[in-house]
Amino acid sequence: MKNVSIILLLLASMLSFQAVLAKELKVGVVDIARVLEQSPQAAIARKKLQDEFSPREKKLVAEQKKIHKLEEQLVRDGAIMSESERTRLEREVVSKKRDAKRNQDVFREDLNFKRSEILESLQRNLIATIQKYAKDNGYDILLAEGVIYASDSINITDEILAKLK
């Protein structure tokens, strides 16, 4: 009797598995890197980063140019300067280089932090848009990362980009 129950259970599970196989799955693929690169939100984020950090970057470049001019002056006029004047200029160059390095490190940290913050926000928005698109269009599964090949018939990246616009 036990064997009959097990056989019936196996038959029932095979029938339900065949029913799942018989249903056609709707599968799509999204190229996340392309969406992040081409979406209007990404362009806005890049512009925002540039507007926020460009003035600081220009200031850092100007500092580097001033240091370079001081170094050139030291090389050019060092031999004819008094020892105290040359020592003062050498200390000034070392001090300015140290300050410039510190300013560059702070700038880089701030830029990386802000970039990560914006990217995280973009990704959240993107995932929400993709999930809504999948639900609205009856997709059973959408794949993104790790896809080696996807035919154009299931690639919905263009549709996702259109939704983001």
Domain ranges of the chain: 24-164
How far CA 59 is from CA of 43, 53, 55, 96, 101, in Å, comes to 24, 10, 6, 13, 13
Rounded to the nearest angstrom, the gap between the alpha carbon of residue 41 and the centroid of all alpha carbons in its chain is 12
Q: In angstroms, what is the C-alpha Rg of the chain?
A: 31
CATH class belonging to 24-164 = alpha beta
Q: What is the pLDDT of residue 145?
A: 80
Residue-by-residue pLDDT tens, the chain, 165 positions: 555 455 545 555 555 555 455 568 889 889 888 888 899 999 999 999 999 999 999 999 999 999 999 999 988 988 888 899 999 999 999 999 999 999 999 999 999 999 999 999 998 998 899 899 999 999 898 888 877 677 777 878 888 888 888
